Structure 1
Amino acid sequence: MLTRRSFTFPALSFAAAGLAGCGSRSIVALPEIDVGQSPRGLVTRTLAQPNYAAVYAEYPGEKFPIAAIDYQRIDTRYLRQTVAFPRDDKPGSIVVDPAGYHLYFVETPRVATRYGVGVGREGFGWSGAARINMKRDWADWVPPPEMIERDPSIRSQLEMTPRGLGVRGGSKSPLGARTLYLFGEGRDLGYRIHGTFEPYTVGTNVSSGCIRMINQDIAHLYARVAPGTPVTVLPA
């Protein structure tokens, strides 16, 4: 049975769309040493780091601004980097490690791009397998009724959108610049991988079960995945 803590679903078949283009990356090779390890979660070895001043600068060509962030305020372990990956997940798949506050996009066997993430608060964590069914830029946020019941103050921020009562996509949306929708068991699981305008909350338990990423990072990931991409969320 599906719960907020774990779910599984039978294998699903999707027609994968072509990957969108992405801006160039400036990668700086590093010695193969252990750096920035989380006290919990998967143990990885950093292989390369990008030029963070460029990666986390203002993101161009957007409908709404993606402002530059002060990456020096964020622990290096939660900034984007290429790592030696200790699992055998197939290239092109996503693995979320809530215990380490990391999301991995598997590049080649045993090599992944690692991003820092914010994860579910106590009582909202979950684990299991899913697939990306949809992807949207600047998506409207439509909170479920139970979220409004828990926090009625949300109601004053809502307006009618094409998908129902919520917050229109843009600089006020909790979904940030990009959203990846997770499906399993033939339905929308209600969980998302999405951006945030609160980048300094990566590395914390902050959400209602969704996986939140720095806007520059979710834009980078979004351009590289397609509907049908498998997602594995590890137990916390």
Structure 2
Amino acid sequence: ADRERLEHALAQGDETHVAIELLALARSHPGSPIAQAAGERLQRLAKAALERAQAARGSDEAAERAALTIAYLATLEPESRKVLRARLEQLTRTEIFSRKRSVECEEYKVVPGDSLSRIAKRFRFPVDGIMHVNHMRRTLIRVGQRLKIPRGPFEVLVIKGEYRLIALQDGKWLAEFPIGTGRDDSTPEATFEITEKTKNPTWYAPDGVYPYGHPKNILGTRWLGFNDTEEHAGFGIHGTARPESIGRSESSGCVRMRNEDVEVLYGLIPTGSRVRILP
């Protein structure tokens, strides 16, 4: 069974997802032979990716970002990842969140009859995300305006034991946030899809229904709901009225974020995106 899990991890279609699957094995079975084998594979993957990133530095930022993402995910020690994360933040600011043209993004020229919501639907990227990437404060657009729109697919990786959430764009590091998780290990380690997104959500609690703004509403300013499965139902990512709980296991099982962070994530992750939760 261990060999089958390892072979499955190595059979993923790209190195980013190979790294994620190996990371899942290493974290799910600490101290076991399968974890040791996965760790050794991760070390080799990280070393090769770092060599590619170094070769691309200064000449191909997209290639450097792709390689650093693999190295980042293949590095098990949180402290060792900090330097990599700092460089990934720099690259992402330039490639995605600046006005500079990028091979990572579509460039769209606004035509008569366009609206931001229509453009968002066409490119399957949220209105809030288009505004964030293009430094827009209002939804008003003008004919001839050029908009930068990141290419997907988009996904979310949650590492419970480190209280971290990583957003990925086309297999590359996009953003990262601290989170809170469920008490008594109630946040499920599984793969989901985001099927619902709501601003200022209502909390349907076991003891009643509480609209946004009610003192008993725990969901904060955004809700990104997961699909229900045979084993898990009612889970999602949301904000919080208790920011001091971030970095702790105090929720009822959902992934909890600071409101300002979940608002950014809400804009970057479209409905239909995959969510993978690791130990």
Q: When the two structures are superposed, what TM-score results if normalisation uses the length of structure 1?
A: 0.53
Corresponding residue of 1:205: 249
Corresponding residue of 1:143: 205
Alignment length, in residue pairs? 144
CA contact (8 A) 1:181 1:188 kept: no
Distance 2:178 2:160 in 1: 10
Distance 1:171 1:42 in 2: 42
Deviations 1:32-76 (A, max 9, x none): 9x9xx99769956222379xxxxxxxxxxxxxxxxxxxxxxxxxx
Task: Give yes or no for the alignment of 1:224 onto 2:279.
Answer: no
CA contact (8 A) 2:154 2:270 kept: no
Deviations 1:133-185 (A, max 9, x none): 110011110124xxxxxxxxxx4xxxxxxxxx321112532000000011143
Cα deviation, residue 194, structure 1? 0.2
| 1:223 alignment partner, SS class | helix
Cα deviation, residue 209, structure 1? 0.6
Cα deviation, residue 107, structure 1? 2.9
| 1:196 alignment partner, SS class | coil
C-alpha RMSD over aligned residues: 3.2
CA contact (8 A) 1:41 1:99 kept: no
Corresponding residue of 1:119: 181
Corresponding residue of 2:168: 106
Distance 1:38 1:207 in 2: 26
Cα separation, partners in 2 of 1:137 and 1:225, compared to 1, 3 Å: same
Structure showing greater radius of gyration is 2
Corresponding residue of 2:193: 131
- Unaligned ranges ≥5, structure 1: 1-31, 51-89, 145-154, 156-164
Corresponding residue of 2:212: 169
CA contact (8 A) 2:228 2:234 kept: no
Task: Give yes or no for the alignment of 1:192 onto 2:192.
Answer: no
CA contact (8 A) 1:192 1:211 kept: yes
Distance 1:200 1:127 in 2: 24
Corresponding residue of 2:129: none
CA contact (8 A) 2:182 2:255 kept: yes
Corresponding residue of 1:93: 155
Cα deviation, residue 192, structure 1? 1.6
Q: RCO higher in 1 or 2 (8 Å CA, sep ≥ 6)?
A: 1
Cα deviation, residue 224, structure 1? 1.6
Structure with greater helix share of residues: 2
| 1:189 alignment partner, SS class | coil
Distance 1:180 1:101 in 2: 18
Cα separation, partners in 2 of 1:170 and 1:115, compared to 1, 3 Å: same
Cα separation, partners in 2 of 1:113 and 1:213, compared to 1, 3 Å: same
